[in-house]
Structure 1
Amino acid sequence: MTIRPCQPTDYEPLLTVFHKSVPHAFAPEEAADFSDFLRTNTDPYFIAELAGQVVGGCGHCLITDTTTARIGWILSDPDHAGSGIGGALLRHNLSLIAQHAGIQLIECRTSQVAYRFFEKFGFQLQYTQPDFWAPGLDLYFVSRPNEPTTHP
């Protein structure tokens, strides 16, 4: 597996991966938000490639005037579930965030579908909000200190 910066030619394959995860992990109405994000994002965003095929993506941003970073739009192709794509992408972003000494906290807005994944990397649940993303798809807000990770 290769992790590299996202390029405009990756947008369509990433949207394909996104649509494979609807409605289990993402709400259909989030597709437009993700598409807009891909076209306008200026923060670091990376894709995972397996045998030349885009199989996932994840990025992060440093929140201006704070000591916080945020993980954003992490997704992996459900056809490759269990192959470590999500973990590799998250570890890559966490290692880049760890290089910023002023960042003390890393947060992520996820759902009940994925929050246990983040717990494996030291994130702790802070709060939930029912039906945030869509009916039946709740917000799970997780965070962890910014420190080198030794998790899976």
Structure 2
Amino acid sequence: MQGKGLLKGMGITLKRFVGKKVTVQYPEEKLPLSPRFRGGVLDLSVEKCIACGLCAMSCPNRAIDLGTAVGEDKKKHLTKYHYLSGRCLYCDLCIEACPTKAIVWDKNYENSTYWRDDLEHDCMAAAAAKRGTAGEPDATAPDGEKGED
């Protein structure tokens, strides 16, 4: 019988046409990320960090630049923590080397930029901004309401 392949193909097409949609409309909907996702920007927990520098030493491309200082309590404290995502291989060696698990990947994968300078991230400033807005009312908002931008 001629046309058997054509009929079989049309049958598959009709079945897919009336079935469940598998395409996700990307900007409006996002697929859930795998727990093993490596990418985005490093998310630093300043409270957990002991400023040992193992993350910077384990990075093969020197994508992490951190500065430390000894405080009055004779312990090291972070003074700066810069992450250069343009150099990063996303190899996960820095996260594995951290003894206190103070750095993890954030789940933001939309990091494209036009300028190379935008690929440098100040993780301490980002952590401070996150702490400042997490559940604390804005000082400029009346009656303790959170201010909205």
- TM-score, scaled relative to structure 1: 0.23
Larger Cα Rg: Structure 1 or Structure 2?
2
Question: Normalising by the residue count of structure 2, what TM-score does the alignment of the two structures yield?
Answer: 0.24
Q: Greater strand share, 1 or 2?
A: 1
The higher relative CO (CA closer than 8 Å, separation ≥ 6) is in 2
